Chain A
Amino acid sequence: MNRYFFKILLLLLISINVYADVWNSPQDSKKAKEEVLFSSFSIPPKRLDPVVSYSSNEWAIMGQIYEPPLQYNYLKRPYALEPLTLTQMPTIRYLDSKGDEVEEGDKNLSFSEYTLTLRDDINYQNHPSFVKNEKGELLYGALSNDELEKIKTLDDFEKTASRKLKAEDYAYAIKRMAVRQNHSPVLDMFQEYIVGLEKFSKEITAIAKEKKVKNEPLDLRTYNIEGVTVENDHTLKIKLKGLYPQFSYWLTMNFFAPIPWEADLFYQQQGLVEKNLTLRWFPVGTGAYYLAENNPNKQMRLVVNPNYHTEYYPTLSQEEVEKSNVPKELLKDSGKKLPFIKEVIYSLEKESIPLWNKFLQGYYDASGISSEAFDQAVQISSGGEMGLSEEMVKKSIVLKGSVEPSISYLAFNMVDPVVGGYSKEAKKLRQAISIAQNEEEYISIFRNERGLPAQGPIPPGIFGYEEGEAGTNKVVYDWKEGKRVRKSLEVAKQLLSEAGYPNGVSKKTGKPLVLYYDTTGIGPDNKSLMDWRRKQFDKLGIQLVIRSSDYNRFQDKVRKGKAQLFSWGWNADYPDPENFLFLLYGGNAIVKTNGAGINSSNYQNPKFDKLFEEIKTMKNSPLRLEKIREMIKIVQEDAPWVWGFHPKSLALTHKWFSNVLPHAMANNTLKYKRIDAKLRAEKQEEWNQPVVLPLVLLLLFMVLASYPLYRAYQGRQRAVIKGDD
Chain B
Amino acid sequence: MLSYIIKRILYAIPILIGVNLITFMLFFMVNTPDDMARAQLGAKQVTPELIQSWKEEKGYDKPLFLNQKAEGIEVVTDTLFVKESLKLFSFNFGFSDANRDIGSDIKERMVPSLAIALPTFIIALITNISLALLLVLFRGSTLDTSMMIVAVMIMSVSGLFYIIAGQVLFSKVWHWVPISGYESGWAGLKFIILPVMIGVFAGIGSGVRWYRSIFLEQINQDYVRTARAKGLSELRVLFGHVLRNGMLPILTGVVVVIPQLFMGSLIMESFFGIPGLGSYTIDAINAQDFAIVKAMVFLGSVLYIVGLILTDISYTLFDPRVKLGS
Contacts and interface: CB of A to CB of B under 8 A. Distances in A.
B32, B168, B190 — most chain A CB neighbours (10 Å) = B190
A275 B100 CA distance: 9
Contacts of B272: 354
Interface residues of B, number: 64
A219 interface: no
Interface stretch (A14-22, A388-396, A526-534): A14-22
A185 B41 contact: yes
A354 B189 contact: no
A716 B228 CA distance: 13
Contacts, number: 158
B275 interface: yes
A550 B104 CA distance: 31
A12 B192 CA distance: 12
Contact of A186 (B35, B45, B177): B45
Contact of B179 (A181, A357, A555, A556): A357
Given A712-B143, A713-B137, A720-B234, A690 B38 contact: no
Interface in B28-58: 30-32, 35, 38, 40-42, 44-50, 53-54, 57
Choose among A46, A281, A363 the residue with the greatest number of B CB atoms under 10 Å from its CB: A46
A177 to B, nearest CB: 12
Contacts of B287: 46
Nearest to A552: B35
A185 B273 contact: no
B46 A690 contact: no
A213 interface: no
Interface residues of A, number: 66
Nearest to A25: B178
A192 to B, nearest CB: 11
Given A183-B50, A691-B175, A298 B275 contact: yes
B50 A185 contact: yes
B2 interface: no
Interface stretch (B114-122, B180-188, B254-262, B291-299): B180-188
Contacts of A360: 172
B77 interface: no
B233 interface: yes
B190 A353 contact: no
B100 A276 contact: yes
Interface string B277-293: 00100000001100000
Nearest to B231: A721
Nearest to B194: A24
Contacts of A304: none
Interface in A581-640: 594-596, 598
B273 A349 contact: yes
B50 A24 contact: no
Nearest to A296: B100
Given A357-B172, A716-B234, A717-B233, A26 B48 contact: no
- Chain A at the B interface: SS class: loop
Interface centre among B45, B171, B172, B279 (most CB of A within 10 A): B45
B176 interface: yes
A136 interface: no
B164 interface: yes
Contacts of A354: 167, 179-180, 271-273
Contacts of B273: 298, 347-350, 354
Contact of B105 (A189, A276, A361): A276
Given A185-B41, A298-B275, A695 B30 contact: no
Contacts of B49: 180, 188
A353 B164 contact: yes
Interface in B228-282: 228, 233-235, 270-273, 275, 279
Interface in A335-385: 347-351, 353-354, 357-358, 360-361, 363
A596 B48 contact: yes
Contact of B271 (A23, A351, A594): A351
A368 B74 CA distance: 54
Interface in A41-60: 46-47, 54-55
A481 interface: no
A14 to B, nearest CB: 12
B173 interface: yes
B99 A278 contact: yes
Interface in B149-172: 164, 167-168, 171-172
A183 B49 CA distance: 9
Contacts of A720: 228, 234
A23 B270 contact: no
A712 B270 CA distance: 43
A183 B54 contact: yes
Given A354-B273, A552-B31, A276 B50 contact: no
Find the residue from A19, A205, A297, A596 having the highest chain B CB count within 10 A.
A297
B233 A552 contact: no
Contacts of A20: 190
A717 B237 CA distance: 11
Contact of A180 (B53, B101, B187, B279): B53
Nearest to A595: B48
Contacts of A298: 112, 182, 273, 275
A596 B47 contact: yes
B101 A276 contact: yes
A274 interface: yes
Contact of B275 (A295, A689, A713): A295
Contact of A188 (B42, B47, B108, B164): B47
A351 B175 CA distance: 20
Contacts of A183: 41, 50, 53-54, 57
A54 B99 contact: no
A132 interface: no
A26 B137 contact: no
Nearest to A54: B42
Interface centre among B38, B48, B181, B270 (most CB of A within 10 A): B181
Given A185-B44, A275-B104, A720-B234, A297 B190 contact: no
B109 interface: yes
A689 B46 contact: no
B45 A691 contact: no
A22 B175 contact: yes
B138 interface: yes
Contact of B279 (A15, A281, A350): A350
A78 B260 CA distance: 56
Nearest to A573: B44
Contacts of B101: 273-276
A693 B43 CA distance: 53
A357 B171 contact: yes
A417 interface: no
A27 B272 CA distance: 14
Contact of A23 (B44, B180, B190, B234): B190
Contact of B50 (A187, A347, A350): A187
B105 A297 contact: yes
A450 interface: no
Interface string A233-275: 0000000000000000000000000000000000000000111
28 contacts: A22-B175, A23-B176, A23-B190, A24-B177, A24-B179, A46-B40, A54-B42, A55-B42, A180-B49, A181-B57, A183-B57, A187-B50, A278-B99, A295-B108, A348-B275, A350-B273, A351-B180, A351-B270, A353-B271, A357-B171, A357-B172, A556-B35, A596-B48, A691-B176, A713-B235, A716-B234, A717-B233, A717-B234
Question: Sorted from nearest, which 9 A-B pairs have the closest CB atoms?
Answer: A298-B275, A26-B181, A26-B178, A297-B275, A552-B35, A185-B45, A354-B180, A180-B53, A691-B174
Interface of B: 30-32, 35, 38, 40-42, 44-50, 53-54, 57, 98-101, 104-105, 108-109, 112, 137-138, 141, 143, 164, 167-168, 171-182, 186-187, 189-191, 193, 228, 233-235, 270-273, 275, 279, 287-288
Interface of A: 12, 15-16, 19-20, 22-26, 46-47, 54-55, 180-181, 183, 185-189, 205, 273-276, 278, 280-281, 295, 297-299, 347-351, 353-354, 357-358, 360-361, 363, 550, 552, 555-556, 573, 594-596, 598, 688-691, 694-695, 712-713, 716-717, 720
